[in-house]
Amino acid sequence: MNYYDETRSDETVRYDVDIRPVETSQWPDYSILRVAGNPAARFGALTMPVTAPLPSEPLIMFHHPLGQPMVLSAKGCRVGARPIDGDGQLIHYCDTNDGSSGAPILDVNGTRLIGLHYAGNTGFNLAVPMVRLRQQSAILAQLFPDQSPPPVRRAEETVPPPLQGQGPGPRVIRDCAECPEMVVVPSGTFMMGSPEDEPDRRGNEGPQHRVTIGQAFAVGRYAVTFDEWDACVRGGGCYAHRPGDEGWGRGRRPVINVSWNDAQAYVRWLTERTGQRYRLLSESEREYATRAGTTTPFSTGDRITTDQANFDGNFTYNGSATGVYRRRTTEVGSFEANAFGLYDLHGNVWEWVEDCWHPDYRGAPADGSAWTTGSCESRILRGGFWGGAPLYLRSAYRNWLAPNFRFNYLLGFRVAKTLTR
């Protein structure tokens, strides 16, 4: 790799570098500098690929995390099954450490520069592929004038069409046969949290504050089901974790016994499987999607019944009548959808969201993004569950658990996807 130890003067060759970039870009994040003396004539140079790497192609990666001594990642270091995602980013599985951004990713022979790492950690990572830089960079276009790769399709060009036969109502999209159905939720502004006079209000639901969701986004029509989770396991994702169903059945029931970490593994697999950027909802997106334009404790109004959601009907709320207690989950979509066309946002299973737990909303983002600063020792759950009282189903109610907490038949999740048009 032409590595020279500066402690041995007889093997050290220095070259002057002009730190003023001859070309730079905020995104993809790169700069090209000029080096005097033509070092390539003495040491050789890496080649640059004309096309994207092959699926699961083995790689090696050299990095200096936070300026520490060089680390070589080789074991398990490979391209993802889908090399380039819908945003034109290279998916790779090379162990990295914090501070490794900008590290070169090479083919296994160490002769071709495949990409520049910029995000991730142990496991799923993202890099800027060199085929993309060659397309964007004016300098590289001059150096390789006859080898420009075809344009990389970005996510906004690959938003799938609505499902066939879809009539008026919410727009539903689906990226693959085993993928969750997604509903496009419009942008908008709402008051997050509960008013001080709401029955059974908790202090962590305030202060109530205005949040603006600046653009439409896609939300899982239902919570992720056992069928969808099991497809991830068959596809080599989700840590090969096959959660138990408590004897209630799998299929269209929401997957349970999954941690926040498990939910993240699923969205990573879904991202790789489709080339689209799946994720968990932020807490504010989850409340916005649940309310669907309402300001009452539930999207159903001031009260909710067991004809409208799955919870313990022995408990009442705000003068409502008692109902049934099913003692287990129900299949997704067993009750009417809300005004956005989303199902089961009240009850059935608690749903993990992206945010770290904070005891109130002081300092919370107002743009709909996830709040991921702080200790993050706990992550947030929303929606209530099949065995809980209706107060837990309120649109503003918040719960939290450690992100590695898995074995619990109350816990599930729902996915989101950012839309760029």
* Tally of structural domains, the chain: 2
For residue 250, tell me if it sits in a domain: yes
90 located within any domain? yes
Domain boundary among 153, 183, 203: 153
Are 283 and 356 within one domain?
yes
Q: Are residues 195 and 241 in the same domain?
A: yes
Domain presence at residue 158:
no
The pLDDT > 90 percentage for the chain reads: 58
Residue 393, class by beta-carbon neighbours within 10 Å (0-12 exposed, 13-18 middle, 19+ buried)? buried
In a domain, 55, yes or no: yes
Q: What is the pLDDT of residue 271?
A: 95
Please measure the distance between the N-terminal and C-terminal CA atoms of the chain and give it in whole angstroms: 43
pLDDT of residue 99 exceeding 80, the answer is no
Angle at 95 between CA 381 and CA 74, to 5 degrees: 155
pLDDT-derived band at 121 (thresholds 50, 70, 90) equals low
Do 249 and 117 lie in one domain? The reply is no
The pTM assigned to this predicted structure is 0.63
Say whether pLDDT at 1 is over 50. no
The answer on 111 and 244 residing in a single domain is no
Query: Is 160 among the domain residues?
Result: no
239-269 pLDDT per residue, tens? 999 999 999 999 999 999 999 999 999 999 9
Q: Do residues 98 and 240 both lie within one domain? A: no
Same domain, 193 and 262: yes
Regarding whether 298 and 218 lie in a shared domain, the answer is yes
- Residue 153 predicted with pLDDT over 50: no
DSSP letter for 291, please: H
Domain span at residue 242 reads 172-418
Tens digit of pLDDT for each residue in 161-191? Answer: 454 444 456 899 999 999 999 999 999 999 9
Is beta strand 278-280 parallel, antiparallel or unpaired with respect to 415-418?
Answer: antiparallel
For residue 70, the domain's CATH number is 2.40.10.10
Task: Read off the pLDDT band of 159 (50, 70, 90).
Answer: very low
Q: Is the pLDDT of residue 311 over 90?
A: yes
CATH code of 185's domain: 3.90.1580.10
Cα–Cα distance measured from residue 57 to residue 76, given in angstroms and rounded to the nearest whole number? 10
Q: Average the pLDDT over 195-224 and give the result.
A: 97
**By mean pLDDT, which of 84-93, 274-283, 336-345 is the weakest?**
84-93
Cross-strand partners of 113: 106
Residue 342 has pLDDT above 60, yes or no: yes
The residues that bridge with 399 in the sheet, in sequence order, are 381
Residue 4, domain member (yes or no): no
Same domain for 195 and 120, yes or no, is: no
Same domain? 140 vs 249 = no
Q: 226, 251 in Cβ contact below 8 A?
A: yes
Q: Note the pLDDT of residue 6.
A: 52
State residue 147's pLDDT score.
Answer: 43
Picking from 126, 153, 180, the residue at the C-terminal end of a domain is 153
Structure-token pair, residue 367? 């743009």
Average pLDDT, the chain: 86
Q: What is the pLDDT of residue 110?
A: 81
User: Do 253 and 124 share a structural domain?
Assistant: no
- Over the stretch 130-140, which tens digit does the pLDDT of each residue have? 888 877 788 88
Closest CA to 391 of 297, 285, 301, 325: 297
Q: Assess whether 246 and 191 both reside in one domain.
A: yes
Whether 131 and 80 map to the same domain: the answer is: yes
Lowest mean pLDDT among 10-19, 83-92, 228-237, 278-287: 83-92
pLDDT at 313 over 90: yes
Domain for residue 278, yes or no? Answer: yes
Residue 268 belongs to some domain of the structure:
yes
SS3 40: helix
Are residues 54 and 79 in contact, defined by beta-carbon separation less than 8 angstroms?
Answer: yes
* Residue 56 reports pLDDT greater than 80: no
